[in-house]
Amino acid sequence: MQDFTPVPYKAPPTPKPQKTFPPYNGFGSEEDSLCSCMGLLLKPPQKDFKKFMEKDRSGMESNILRFLAKLITDSPIDKDRKFIISYFLSDDTISVFEHTQQNTGIFGGKFLGRGRIKKPGQELFKSEPSEYFTAQNLFVGAEVCFHGHNFLLVDADEYTFNYMEKHANEFSVADIGAILKKLKDIVEPRSGEIRQVFADTDPEHTKVIEYDPFRNLIVRITDGAFSEHEIITLGRYYSVRDEREMDPQFLLAVAQEQLKKNGFENFEQLSAVLIYNDREKCGMLPHEKCRTICKSFKLPLAGDNLQALLTAFEDDHKQVEYKKFVDGLNWKKNQMPAFQTMKVSSKNEDDWSGQPPSLPVKGINYLPLLDDLFGKEE
């Protein structure tokens, strides 16, 4: 025998037929109708409980992205109407409330109840699942269509900007690295011209230009290739920092006011837990460890405020002197003098009556921006 090639003696198994589903019939939700085709025993659609537990409201972390919007219309009555669009990260639902305006005949209130919203232009009765609006579809400057109503998103609150910047891997419009790369690809061949344009905008050589001229400058040199949210992210990154906002005394005054309003008094328990975690009894703990412990106590402080406070009490090795930190927060024993201009915002998802304010960017340090784009001038 010279040929040892195996000879098939059995036919290959027939492939399983691909399961096809009937088109959506319009009764109930698409997910519910699809589950009725999965088996004889009807089961409700499974919810993403892991996502719900991670993104549900916890303390000052609302996990709700809120945007100020207006209608895209030529109607002189409707174009001045203001809406608050809230996106709930826990279940990807959206609600729309209208701001009440006096003497306009518009009563305001709930404009669109909370629920998932399908993207427009999709066939209704089909077998494939529909596409819904996600958090990535909402940003300042975006145009969205909710059930036939066209909205332009014109602003967002500070929590939304902070959340998107902290999760820049999920939101490209808040990723400063991607924005700088995109800007560099556009303007790098004209480095000398761009530097001169920025210098002409600052005739007094203050090294700072206001946000509106900066925004108009970016729009002009990029031919409108940047969205409003990308320009805002760029402006926030290179903005002039308010020294008072980084002052430990001011931060403590703001924190004490917030703790006092929420009735937080568990300072002894918080101190005891911090001491217990200090195995070496050196009076110092890592920054992230202190932050985790504060979160476990549901300290009623916004994430960025807590971060700034811990940074104010840490050394060069990111070790926080936790005893001074807790003593500074203790409004019962060490009350800080109140600042007359201090404004502490306490917002929740139901507070839609006013425009969601973001912290204004007043001035832009444009020289660091130019150095990051073209390198430092020799």
User: What band does 4 get if pLDDT is binned at 50, 70 and 90?
Assistant: confident
Q: What is the pLDDT of residue 342?
A: 39
Residue 19 lies in a domain: no
Q: What is the pLDDT of residue 95?
A: 95
CA nearest 342: which of 253, 266, 276?
253
One domain, residues 154 and 191: no
Range of the domain at 224: 175-239+361-374
Give whichever of 17-31, 214-228, 345-359 has the largest mean pLDDT.
Answer: 214-228
Whether pLDDT at 164 is above 90 = yes
One domain, residues 190 and 324: no
Whether pLDDT at 343 is above 70 = no
CATH number at residue 143: 2.30.29.170
Instruction: Return d(Cα 147, Cα 111) in angstroms, integer.
Output: 11
One domain, residues 253 and 297: yes
CA distances from 178 to 164, 168, 183, 333 (A): 14, 9, 9, 47
Q: Do residues 301 and 337 lie in contact, with contact meaning Cβ atoms separated by under 8 Å?
A: no
Number of domains in the chain: 3
Q: What is the pLDDT of residue 257?
A: 84
Fill in the amino acid letter for 192: G
Residue 2 lies in a domain: no
One domain, residues 105 and 133: yes
Per-residue pLDDT, averaged over 156-175, amounts to 91
Q: What is the pLDDT of residue 348?
A: 39
What is the pTM assigned to this prediction? 0.71
Whether pLDDT at 14 is above 90 = no
| Average pLDDT of the chain, as a whole number | 84
Per-residue pLDDT, averaged over 341-345, amounts to 39
Tens of pLDDT, residues 96-155: 999 887 776 777 889 999 999 999 999 888 888 899 999 999 999 999 999 999 999 999
Q: What is the pLDDT of residue 345?
A: 40
CATH number at residue 258: 1.10.238
User: What band does 355 get if pLDDT is binned at 50, 70 and 90?
Assistant: very low
One domain, residues 249 and 184: no
Fill in the amino acid letter for 282: C
Q: Which residues contact 282 (CB under 8 A, 6 or more apart)?
A: none
Q: What is the pLDDT of residue 358?
A: 59
Per-residue pLDDT, averaged over 273-290, amounts to 89
CA nearest 152: which of 233, 85, 64, 77?
85
Domain boundary among 112, 131, 165: 165
Instruction: Return d(Cα 216, Cα 290) in angstroms, integer.
Output: 42
One domain, residues 188 and 152: no
Instruction: Return d(Cα 15, Cα 328) in angstroms, integer.
Output: 70
Whether pLDDT at 357 is above 80 = no
One domain, residues 152 and 253: no
One domain, residues 181 and 217: yes
In eight-state DSSP terms, residue 186 is H
Q: What is the torsional sign of CA 133, 136, 141, 142?
A: negative
Q: How big is the chain by its Cα radius of gyration, in Å?
A: 27
Q: What is the pLDDT of residue 253?
A: 84
Kindly state the helix (H) or strand (E) to which residue 87 belongs, with its residue range. Answer: strand 82-88
In three-state secondary structure terms, 151 is: strand
In eight-state DSSP terms, residue 241 is P
Q: Are strands 143-146 and 284-286 parallel, antiparallel or unpaired?
A: unpaired
Token pair, residue 144, equals 């969205």
Token pair, residue 336, equals 């800080």
Residue 317 lies in a domain: yes
Q: Tell me how crowded residue 255 is: count the other CB atoms within 10 A of its CB.
A: 24
Whether pLDDT at 327 is above 80 = yes
